[in-house]
């Protein structure tokens, strides 16, 4: 008998008490809230991100290029990684040198390590928990590019922000590799003191694009 | 290499030593209280919804366990459809052999690891070392434990028993042996220590082509694995290598992707007391051009089907390893994690370890007594495991086993921690009042014990206040 068969047989034997007619699927009971009514979505997101010591700025939709350029300049970032599908107009006001990453022609690891930062968009953001989710879409790129550089500048559009975790889970596609980011890399392993910055980007900066309305 | 729990003294003896170690007690007290308060704040802000989420979390896990065969098969199919390979391991030896062979097939002799309880449980690092493979722990606390040749003492913060000065010493003395040395003049500022870890591991992450992980959840319908973490070492291990091997207990399954709506709320708030942990990675099989191009899932039994067969003890398999029960436990706070003689310390360890091992030693038999049955663990458990109920159930088993003096074990366990049986009475009584689920009269041998004791009046002050006044709680 293979271990697979052995384990499955042991599981079945262990469950002898479960009635044969008990339905093997469960209606997701629900009954819990989509979010917890903590306030206006964008304000809550900004508050939570700031709480994690991310840098956050609210920007007008027609000023993204200027704000990206200003952020990179303040940071002193001149060699910057971008995923191939990032809107090029966002980069038009900056004089940084762009390292464009694609799945076919990935930026080598050493160059990622040597870059000053990375600029991406996101898939979804969750206000209540201050979470930004990347799903590897064309304007977010391979997971490595938002991990290895020490500075991540992320552009979040107002229409991508939901209030609570359940809403985000429903919008996300599990077939894609997802990275949920809630603030810069941190550890509490030394006397439970939260210290920002271990292996992931030590600075997370978020440009929160106001709705155009 | 890492230490081992083998040959540990049973709980009463180990606990007595720990209680007498004042530095350990100070570290533990500070840490558990900090994290406890943080958890309470982020749970409170969820209002009444918390209990609904908790009920849902418990129901999802319970349902999954009751149909585990079906969900295991579904998970296997989903992972393989997405380009992963699934392996089945009945016990630790088989899991270690599978992982060792997979690593050997890559031709690598170094692997990076992201913190995983399952691989600690099977002592994978030692097995790899015997095959000439070095496993590098990358979680800061695991790194500290590995460098210090120490043992983990907490599920979430394995180096919780060490203060910053001790960590600095370990880094200065040991880092050079494992790779990039600590900078001379390293201070004990947590920021400096974190920076030293970053530098020490950076190159290793960029170079190592094989990684080993566990998982917090494995989603049956999509084949998705989920890892929650803080530092980014998890992302490094899950993203940069060519080959990823994940060792996952068979109880880690949730049926559907949408179940994460519940668990992604319950787990971060219960464990680190944050609204969300800094990083969560999810992956489904292999994504061409992004991340590891070879993915292996090793499904581990190693005693879990024995736990499953016990209709009372089964609920221990719902555990999502948040560690809230450790942080709230008056016994853990005084003894620390090592006294439990297992990678699973605290209240959950006291019910899980003896069940996984089948009460095969004195250590296992003493564990169900490492509790005052106060019920605080049940209150905080995000999947509502009635730990006191299982403890009482296991005590009955111990008491019924031939040649065992249940009362002696009970008294010894209690005495070691609380210095007098009166103190135990006080805790047991005071906490029992706040909670309907623990029977006033315990069945079996323990019942005989409570029957014959005159339980003192409930103290007007809390147990903790009382303890502090005695000058034992501080420093
Ligand atoms: S038993 Fe409950 S509280 Fe304890 S670690 Fe497991 S899930 Fe958390």
With a pLDDT cut of 70, the percent of chain B lying above it is: 81
Instruction: Give the contacts of B295 (CB within 8 A, at least 6 positions apart).
Output: B79, B83, B84, B85, B243, B244, B246, B283, B285, B286
What is the spatial distance between Cα B43 and Cα B37, in angstroms, rounded to a whole number?
Answer: 10
Dihedral over alpha carbons B428, B430, B435, B440 (to 10 degrees) = 50
Instruction: Write phi, then psi, for A210 (nearest 5 degrees).
Output: -65, 150
Instruction: Write phi, then psi, for B137 (nearest 5 degrees).
Output: -75, 140
Choose the closest CB to A169 out of B191, B236, B261: B261
Q: How many helices (H) and strands (E) does chain B have?
A: 23, 10
Q: For residue B310, is it within any domain?
A: no
Q: For residue B76, is it within any domain?
A: yes
Instruction: Give the contacts of A112 (CB within 8 A, at least 6 positions apart).
Output: A81, A99, A144, A145, A148, A149
Distance from CA of B358 to the nearest CA of A (A): 14
In 3D space, the residue among B113, B155, B163, B116 whose CA is nearest the CA of residue B134 turns out to be B113
pLDDT of B428 > 60? The answer is no
Give residue B31's pLDDT: 85
Q: For residue B13, is it within any domain?
A: no
- What separation in angstroms does the CA of B373 have from each of A76, B274, B417, B451? 58, 28, 13, 15
Give residue B6's pLDDT: 56
If pLDDT is split at 50, 70 and 90, which confidence band does B414 have? very low
Distance from CA of A78 to the nearest CA of B (A): 22
Same domain, B80 and B222: yes
- What separation in angstroms does the CA of B66 have from each of A173, B59, B87, B124, B383? 28, 11, 22, 29, 15
* Residues B29-36, mean pLDDT to the nearest whole number: 89
In 3D space, the residue among A93, A145, A122, A116 whose CA is nearest the CA of residue A203 turns out to be A116
- DSSP assigned state of B182: P
Same domain, B115 and B243: yes
Which residues of chain A make contact with B258, given a CB cutoff of 8 A? 28, 169-170
Nearest CA to ligand 1 atom 2: B381
Same domain, B126 and B267: yes
What is the spatial distance between Cα B294 and Cα B297, in angstroms, rounded to a whole number?
Answer: 10
Q: What is the pLDDT of residues B145-171, one digit of tens each?
A: 889 888 888 888 888 888 888 899 999
In 3D space, the residue among A147, A138, A142 whose CA is nearest the CA of residue A181 turns out to be A147
Q: For residue B139, is it within any domain?
A: yes
Nearest CA to ligand 1 atom 8: B322
Nearest CA in chain B to A194: B190
Which residues does a 6 A CB cutoff place in the pocket of ligand 1? B 270, 319-325, 348, 380-383, 385
Which residues of chain B make contact with A125, given a CB cutoff of 8 A? none
Same domain, B87 and B219: yes
Using the mean position of ligand 1's atoms as its centre, give its distance from the Cα of residue B344 in Å. Answer: 11
Range of the domain at B97: 69-304
Integer-rounded Cα radius of gyration of chain A: 21
Residue with token string 């975790």: A165
Give residue B447's pLDDT: 37
Which of B304, B328, B349 corresponds to the end of one domain?
B304
What's the CATH number where B132 sits? 3.40.50.10420
Q: For residue B397, is it within any domain?
A: no
Q: For residue B232, is it within any domain?
A: yes
Edge-to-edge strand order for the sheet containing A124-126? A161-162, A124-126, A131-134, A178-181, B279-284, B224-229, B217-219, B253-254
Q: How many helices (H) and strands (E) does chain A have?
A: 5, 12
Q: What is the pTM (predicted TM-score) of this model? A: 0.88
Integer-rounded Cα radius of gyration of chain B: 22
Provide the chain B residues 206-265 that lie in CB contact (below 8 A) with chain A.
206, 219, 222, 224, 230-233, 235-236, 238-240, 250, 255-262, 264-265
If pLDDT is split at 50, 70 and 90, which confidence band does A184 have? confident
Cross-chain Cβ contact A31/B34 below 8 Å: no
Using the mean position of ligand 1's atoms as its centre, give its distance from the Cα of residue B35 in Å. Answer: 14
CB distance A117 to A149 below 8 Å: yes
Give residue B429's pLDDT: 37
Beta bridge partners of A4: none
Choose the closest CB to A199 out of B30, B191, B233: B233
Nearest CA in chain B to A137: B290
Q: How many domains does chain B have?
A: 2
Instruction: Give the contacts of B447 (CB within 8 A, at least 6 positions apart).
Output: B441
- What separation in angstroms does the CA of A44 have from each of A32, A49, B45, B232? 20, 9, 14, 25
Same domain, B75 and B193: yes
Dihedral over alpha carbons B149, B153, B158, B162 (to 10 degrees) = -70
Same domain, B292 and B421: no
What is the spatial distance between Cα B112 and Cα A50, in angstroms, rounded to a whole number?
Answer: 32
Q: Comparing B372 with A35, which gets the higher pLDDT?
A: A35
Reported ipTM:
0.96
Same domain, B106 and B218: yes
What's the whole-number average pLDDT of chain B? 83
Which of B304, B327, B344 corresponds to the end of one domain?
B304
Helix (H) or strand (E) run with residue B253 in it:
strand B253-254
CA quadruple A148, A152, A157, A162: dihedral sign: positive
Same domain, B157 and B285: yes
Give residue B439's pLDDT: 35
pLDDT of A212 > 70? The answer is yes
What is the spatial distance between Cα A184 and Cα A204, in angstroms, rounded to a whole number?
Answer: 5
Cross-chain Cβ contact B205/A199 below 8 Å: yes
Give the pairing type, strands A203-209 and A79-83: unpaired
The DSSP code sequence of B328-358 is H-HHHHHH-SGGG-SSS-HHHHHHHHHHHHT
Q: What is the pLDDT of residues B39-84, one digit of tens each?
A: 999 999 999 999 999 999 999 999 999 999 999 999 999 999 999 9
User: Between chain A and chain B, how many beta carbons pairs sit less than 8 Å apart?
Assistant: 243
The alpha-helical segments, DSSP class H, found in chain A are 3-14, 41-51, 64-75, 109-114, 165-171
pLDDT of B231 > 60? The answer is yes
Q: What is the pLDDT of residues B368-406, one digit of tens each?
A: 888 888 899 999 999 999 999 999 999 888 887 766 554
Give residue B454's pLDDT: 31
CB distance A77 to A116 below 8 Å: yes
In order of their start, the domains of chain A are: 51-209 (3.40.50.10420)
CA quadruple A90, A92, A98, A103: dihedral sign: positive
pLDDT of B139 > 70? The answer is yes
Which of B278, B304, B330 corresponds to the end of one domain?
B304
Cross-chain Cβ contact A142/B60 below 8 Å: no
If pLDDT is split at 50, 70 and 90, which confidence band does A211 have? confident
């Amino acid at each position: 008998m293979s271990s697979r068969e052995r384990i499955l047989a042991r599981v079945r034997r262990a469950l002898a008490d479960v009635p044969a007619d008990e339905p093997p699927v469960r209606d997701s009971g629900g009954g819990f809230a989509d979010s917890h009514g903590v306030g206006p979505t964008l304000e809550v997101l900004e508050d939570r991100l700031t709480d994690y010591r991310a840098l956050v700025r609210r920007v007008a939709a027609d000023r993204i290029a200027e704000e990206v350029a200003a952020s990179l300049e303040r940071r002193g970032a001149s060699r910057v990684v971008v995923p191939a599908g990032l809107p090029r107009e966002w980069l038009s006001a900056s004089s940084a040198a762009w390292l464009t990453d694609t799945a076919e022609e990935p930026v080598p690891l050493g160059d990622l390590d040597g870059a000053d930062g990375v600029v991406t968009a996101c898939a979804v953001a969750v206000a209540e928990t201050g979470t930004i989710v990347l799903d590897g879409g064309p304007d977010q790129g391979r997971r490595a590019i938002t991990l290895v550089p020490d500075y991540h500048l992320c552009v979040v559009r107002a229409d991508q922000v939901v209030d609570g975790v359940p809403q985000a889970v429903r919008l996300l596609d599990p077939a894609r590799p997802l990275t949920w980011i809630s603030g810069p890399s941190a550890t509490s392993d030394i006397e439970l003191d939260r210290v920002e910055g271990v292996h992931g980007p030590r600075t997370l900066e978020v440009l929160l694009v106001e709705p155009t309305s | 290499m890492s230490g081992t729990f083998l040959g540990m003294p049973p709980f009463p003896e180990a606990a007595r030593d720990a209680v007498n170690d004042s530095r350990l007690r100070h570290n533990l007290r500070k840490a558990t209280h900090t994290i406890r308060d943080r958890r309470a704040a982020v749970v409170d802000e969820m209002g009444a919804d918390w209990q609904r989420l908790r009920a849902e979390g418990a129901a999802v896990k319970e349902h999954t366990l009751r149909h585990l065969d079906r969900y295991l098969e579904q998970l296997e199919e989903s992972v393989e459809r997405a380009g992963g390979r699934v392996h089945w391991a009945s016990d630790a030896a088989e899991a270690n052999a599978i992982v060792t062979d997979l690593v050997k097939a890559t031709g690598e002799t170094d692997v990076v690891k992201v913190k995983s309880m399952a691989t600690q449980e099977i002592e994978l690092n030692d097995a790899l070392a015997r095959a000439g493979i070095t496993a590098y722990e990358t979680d800061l606390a695991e790194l500290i434990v590995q460098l210090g040749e120490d043992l983990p003492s907490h599920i979430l913060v394995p180096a919780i028993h060490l203060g910053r000065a001790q960590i600095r010493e370990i880094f200065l003395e040991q880092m050079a042996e494992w790779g990039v040395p600590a900078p001379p003049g390293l201070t004990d500022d947590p920021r400096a220590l974190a920076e030293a870890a970053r530098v020490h591991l950076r190159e290793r992450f960029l170079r190592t082509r094989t990684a080993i992980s566990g998982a917090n959840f494995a989603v049956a319908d999509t084949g998705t694995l989920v890892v929650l973490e803080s530092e980014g070492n998890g992302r490094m291990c899950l993203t940069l290598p060519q080959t990823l091997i994940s060792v996952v207990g068979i109880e880690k399954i949730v049926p559907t992707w949408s179940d994460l709506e519940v668990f992604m709320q319950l787990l971060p708030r219960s464990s680190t007391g944050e609204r969300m942990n800094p990083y969560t990675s999810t992956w489904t099989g292999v994504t061409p051009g992004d991340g590891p191009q070879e993915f292996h899932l090793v499904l581990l039994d190693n005693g879990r089907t024995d736990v499953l067969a016990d209709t009372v003890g089964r609920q221990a398999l719902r555990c999502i390893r948040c560690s809230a029960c450790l942080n709230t436990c008056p016994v853990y706070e005084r003894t620390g994690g090592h006294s439990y003689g297992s990678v699973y310390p605290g209240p959950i360890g006291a019910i899980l370890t003896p069940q996984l091992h089948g009460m095969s030693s004195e250590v296992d038999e003493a564990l169900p007594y490492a509790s005052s049955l106060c019920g605080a663990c049940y209150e905080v458990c995000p999947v509502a495991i009635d730990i006191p109920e299982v403890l009482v159930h296991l005590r009955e088993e111990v008491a019924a086993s031939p040649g065992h003096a249940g009362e002696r074990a009970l008294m010894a366990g209690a005495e070691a921690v609380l210095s007098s049986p009166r103190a135990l009475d006080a805790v047991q009584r005071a906490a029992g009042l706040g909670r309907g689920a623990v029977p006033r009269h315990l069945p079996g041998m323990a019942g005989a014990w409570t029957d014959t004791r005159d339980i003192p009046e409930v103290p007007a002050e809390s147990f903790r206040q009382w303890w502090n006044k005695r000058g034992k709680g501080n420093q």
